[in-house]
Amino acid sequence: MFYIKKSYRKKGGAMKIVLVVEDYIALHKLWRKMLSDKAFVIGAETLAQAEELFKRHKHEIDIMAIDGEVHGSVNNTVAFVKKIASQFPSSKMLAISGDTENNRLLVKAGCEHSVIKQEVVGKIRELLSK
């Protein structure tokens, strides 16, 4: 789990902040590297970590990318999305499951956007440019 360094924070830093909720660590590293010119990527490997990071940094996060099955059932992720949807704009929430049915469920729960994992970086870049 990563925390936002003071130098990246909105008050003093210009970098955009992306929270990636994904249990496959290699993707965290890849996306962090591929987005390093546009955003500081923080990652959560579990929904509990995601909730902690969200509570701590919700006013600094620009985009949330959320996998459909994070160490368990899509139902757990749907509950997480519903919980945070009232506190975070759906236009900044991206469902990133490799399973289109999981993405559909996450969109229904509160994510406005969905993509397959191969398109995550492009979609995040697009959303950050708006």
The per-residue pLDDT for range 41-94, each reduced to its tens digit, is 999 999 999 999 999 999 999 999 999 999 889 999 999 999 999 999 999 999
pTM for this one? Answer: 0.89
Superfamily of domain 15-116: Response regulator (3.40.50.2300)
54/61 Cα distance (integer angstroms): 8
C-alpha R_g of the chain:
13
The upper half-sphere exposure of residue 94, i.e. CA atoms within 13 Å in the direction of its Cβ, equals 26
Indicate if the pLDDT at residue 35 is higher than 50: yes
Q: Tell me what pLDDT residue 7 has.
A: 47
Residue ranges covered by each domain of the chain: 15-116
Section 21-34 average pLDDT: 94
